[in-house]
Amino acid sequence: TRTEDQVDFVVEKCVLLNVEKDLVAAGVKPVMCPYLNIAAAAMRRRLGLKTRIEDIAVDQAAHRCKLCFGMV
């Protein structure tokens, strides 16, 4: 979804969620997401938008992540 100053993407059934779950269980905080990088690059290239990461909300139970970007 897109508002005036924010763009949010929902990623469902990410193949990396189990890897993230294992990292968190081992006490390691995951720092990057390939979908996050792809979305940021696509917005910059196709829309000419510079963004910053506002939030990454992971819902392990629903197998879903919400990637939130703010416009710069």
Q: What is the pLDDT of residues 7-40, one digit of tens each?
A: 999 999 998 999 988 998 999 987 788 999 999 9
Instruction: Report the pLDDT value the prediction gives residue 42, as an integer from 0 to 100.
Output: 93
CA distance linking residue 6 with residue 68, whole number of Å:
7
Average pLDDT over residues 60-70: 94
Strands of 6-12's sheet, edge to edge? Answer: 6-12, 64-71, 51-59
Sorted by sequence, the CB contacts under 8 Å of residue 10 that are 6+ apart come out as 64, 65, 66, 67
Question: Tokens for 56?
Answer: 């990454």
Is the whole-model pTM more than 0.85? no
pLDDT in tens, 41-53: 999 999 898 899 9
Q: Mean pLDDT in the chain?
A: 91
